[in-house]
Chain A
C-alpha cells in the first residue's frame, strides 16, 4: 500500500568531511571532556551534592600523600599495560576484547613458577615468570586468531567467551590443584614467597617502569618498524595488504600473539607486584576498562600512559570520595563512562558533518 511512498530528503543528513586538522580535533576532544565533567556535575547537583567538592575531593584524594600517589600509580599500571596490549590488535581492526582473559592466563602461567619454583634466584625467577606470563597470554590470544584466519570465527564474541573460561580455570585451580592446604574454610591459593615479589622503585613495584618501557617500545613498534606498518595496512584494508604482498594471516597471528603476550605480562606484574597470590579478582575488569582507555587515546601509546594515570586518579580518588563524603566509589565508573560517551560522540564531528536540507527539497 504505502510501498510507493517516496522518501523525501531528510531534514539533516550526514556527509563525510575533510578530516579536521589535528589541532581542531584535539580541541573538539577537550571540549568533549569538559562537557562530560559538566554533565557529571549536573548529575551530582541533581542529587543535592556540591560537584566542586566531589571533584575536589577526588583530585586531592589521589594526591594527598605519598601513599595516595603510590596507590594512584598502582591503579594505573595494569590499565596502561593492558591498554597497550589491546592497542596492537585494535590497530589491525581485530576486536580483541579478551584482554581480561589473556591477562588472567598470563597470571596463571606466571603463578605456576611462583608457587613451585620459588627457590630459583630472584632475577632468574622473575624473568622466567615474565616469559611464562607472556607465553600464557599469547597462546590464549592465539586461539581466537587461528579460528579467525581459518574459519572467520567472530573474534569479538570468541575472545569474550575466553575471558570467562580463563576466569573459571583460575577458580578451578584455586579450589583444586593449587588450593592452599593451610587455609581453613574458604579456598585460596597460597601467598607467594617473598622471593617472588617484584622489586620496588620509589615505593611502587617496578610494574610502572615496565609500563613506561612498553609504552615506548610499542610506540616504536607501531610507528617505526616494518611489522608495525604491516599492522596498519591490514587494519586499513585487508585487500590492499594482500595486493601489496603482505601475508595477512601471518600478520594477524603474530600481532594477536603479541597483543596477548603483553596482556599476559600484565598478569604477571599483577600477581608478582600487587597481589602476591593468584585470585579470581586478578583482572577485575581491567581488561575491559583498558579497551576504553585505548579508544579514548586514539590508540596512541603516549596518550595511553597519560590517560591511564588519569583513570588511576579517578579510581583512587573515588575511594576517598566514598570515605570522606559518603558517596559510593562507583562514581569513578560513572564518570569514566560519561567521558567516553562524549568522546565517542565528538569523534563523529571530527570526521562527519550534518548538512541541512536545501530549500526546494531533493533534486
Chain B
C-alpha cells in the first residue's frame, strides 16, 4: 500500500510537465492549428524559466519568464501560420528544432560565463519549489501525501487545466473558439473574429507549454542546468492531446496515466521480466490505438477539431 502511494505520487510528479504541454496544445488545436513546436516551446520555457529563477531568486518571475518565452515561440508560429498561411507541420517542426537548439545554445553560453562551470538554482528559489506544507491537511495520513504535498507547479498545472476547461466549454468565447476549430468559414460568417482568437489561443497555449518546460529544467534535474532537459516530453504531450480527446480536464487524468507509465518500470519488480522499452512505448502505442479507433468510430464527442491542420484564407471559403 505504501509502495502504491509512492507510485501515485511519483506519477503525478512525472505527469505535471505533460499536463502543461497538453493543455497548451489543446488550446492551440482547438482553433485548428496543429503546433508540432510543443517540444521547442517547452525548451524555450525551460531555458528562460531556469535563467530567470537563477538571476532573480523568484519562482513567480521564473514562471512569468517561462510563459513569455513559450509565448514568444508561439508568436513566431502564429505569424507564420495564421497571417502568412505557411504549412503548419513544417512551421511547428521548425519551431521545435529552433527552440531546442536555442535553449541548449543559450544554456551552454551561460555555462561558459559562469565561474564554476555549472549552473545551479540558488537556495532561495529551490525553497519556493519545495512541496507545500498546509497545516493539518498535509499531515493527514494517505490523503496528505496524495493531495497536499506537491510542489507548487503541480497545483498551478491543475488550476490551469481547470480554467482552460471552463474557458473552452463554459464560456461563450470558448464555444466561439471551438467553432473556429471546427469550421472557420462558418465562424467568420457568424462574425467571430477568427484571426484574433487564433492568435489569442495559440499564444496562450505556447505560454502554458513554456511553464511545463520550466518544470523540466527546474524540478526534474534537481535545480542543475542540463542540455535537452525537456527530452521529448513535448512529443508525448502532443500524443496526450489525442488521448485526452481535446479536453483540458481529461488531460489531468491523461497526464496521470502517462506519468504513471513513465515511472511504472521503477515500481514493477524486475523479476517479471517486462522490457523497459515497453513502458516507454506504451504511451505512443495507446495514443496510436486511440487515434485509429476513434477515426473508425468517428464518435462525435471525442473528435478531432474539424479544420485541424488546415489554414484559413477568407477568400477561399
Q: Encode B83-110 as 1/0 by CB contact (under 8 A) with A.
A: 1111101110111111111101101110
A328 touches B108 (CB 8 A): yes
Q: Does B48 contact A (CB under 8 A)?
A: no
- Alpha-carbon separation in the docked complex, A164 to B235 (Å): 9
In the assembled complex, which residues on chain A have CB atoms less than 8 Å from the CB atom of B231? none
Closest-CB distance, A305 to chain B (whole angstroms): 19
A160 to B97, CA, bound (A): 15
Q: Are A165 and B284 in contact (CB under 8 A)?
A: yes
- A289 touching B97 by the CB < 8 A rule? yes
Q: Are A151 and B296 in contact (CB under 8 A)?
A: yes
Shortest distance from the beta carbon of B148 to any chain A beta carbon, whole Å: 34
In the complex the two chains form, is B295's CB within 8 Å of A152's CB?
A: yes
A356 close to B (CB within 8 Å): no
CB neighbours of B309 from chain A (8 A): 95, 154, 156
How far is it, in angstroms, between the C-alpha of A340 and the C-alpha of B98 when the chains are bound?
A: 10
B205-238 near A? 1/0 per residue, CB < 8 Å: 0000000000000000000000100000001001
Q: Report chain A residues within 8 Å CB of B288.
A: 158, 161-162, 165
- Which chain A positions have C-beta within 8 A of B179? none
Residue in A160, A169, A176, A330 whose beta carbon sits within 8 Å of that of B101 in the complex: A330
Chain B residue at minimal CB-CB distance from A291? B93
**Contact residue among B86, B227, B304 (Cβ-Cβ distance under 8 Å from A344):** B86
Complex: how many Å from CA A164 to CA B313?
A: 34
Give the Cβ gap from B278 to chain A, nearest Cβ, in Å.
7
- Cβ–Cβ < 8 Å partners of A55 in chain B: none
Residues of B with C-beta under 8 A to A33: none
CB of A360 within 8 A of chain B? no
Q: Which residues of B have CB within 8 Å of A345?
A: 79-80, 84, 86
Partner of B80 from the list A152, A330, A341 (CB cut-off 8 Å) is A341
List residues of chain B with CB within 8 A of the CB of A56.
Answer: none
B297-317 contacts to A, CB under 8 A, are 298, 304, 308-309, 313-315
Q: Indicate which residue in B89, B102, B238, B276 contacts A330 across the interface (CB closer than 8 Å).
A: B102
Contact A348 B85 (CB under 8 A): yes
Q: How far is the CB of A235 from chain B (nearest CB, A)?
A: 13
Q: Does B281 contact A (CB under 8 A)?
A: yes
- Bound: A175/B285 CA distance, A: 19
Q: Which residues of A contact B284 (CB under 8 A)?
A: 161, 164-165, 168
A3 to chain B, nearest CB (A): 7
A276 within 8 A of B: no
Partner of B97, one of A152, A175, A333: A333
B151 within 8 A of A: no
Q: Does B193 contact A (CB under 8 A)?
A: yes
What distance in Å separates the Cβ of A231 from its nearest Cβ neighbour in chain B?
Answer: 18
Q: Are B105's CB and A151's CB within 8 A?
A: no
Q: Is the CB of A153 within 8 A of B104?
A: no
Residue of B nearest to A6 (CB): B191
Q: Contacting B191 at CB < 8 Å: which of A7, A151, A328, A334? A: A7
Q: How far is the CB of A148 from chain B (nearest CB, A)?
A: 9
Decide if A151 touches B292 in the complex (CB within 8 Å). yes
Q: Give the docked Cα–Cα distance between A324 and B83 (Å).
A: 41
Known: A156-B89, A328-B108, A345-B84. A337 touches B276 (CB 8 A): no
Query: Nearest chain A CB to B302's CB is how many angstroms away?
Result: 13
Q: Which residues of chain A are near B117, meaning CB under 8 Å?
A: none
Give B291 Cβ to nearest chain A Cβ, in Å. 6
Q: Can you name 19 A-B pairs with beta carbons within 8 Å?
A: A95-B89, A151-B298, A153-B292, A153-B295, A156-B89, A161-B285, A292-B93, A295-B87, A328-B105, A330-B100, A330-B105, A333-B100, A334-B105, A336-B94, A340-B90, A344-B90, A345-B84, A348-B84, A352-B85
Q: Taking beta carbons and an 8 Å cutoff, which residues of B are in contact with A?
A: 34, 36, 76, 79-80, 83-87, 89-91, 93-102, 104-105, 107-109, 112, 191, 193, 227, 235, 238-239, 242, 275-278, 280-281, 284-285, 287-288, 291-292, 295-296, 298, 304, 308-309, 313-315
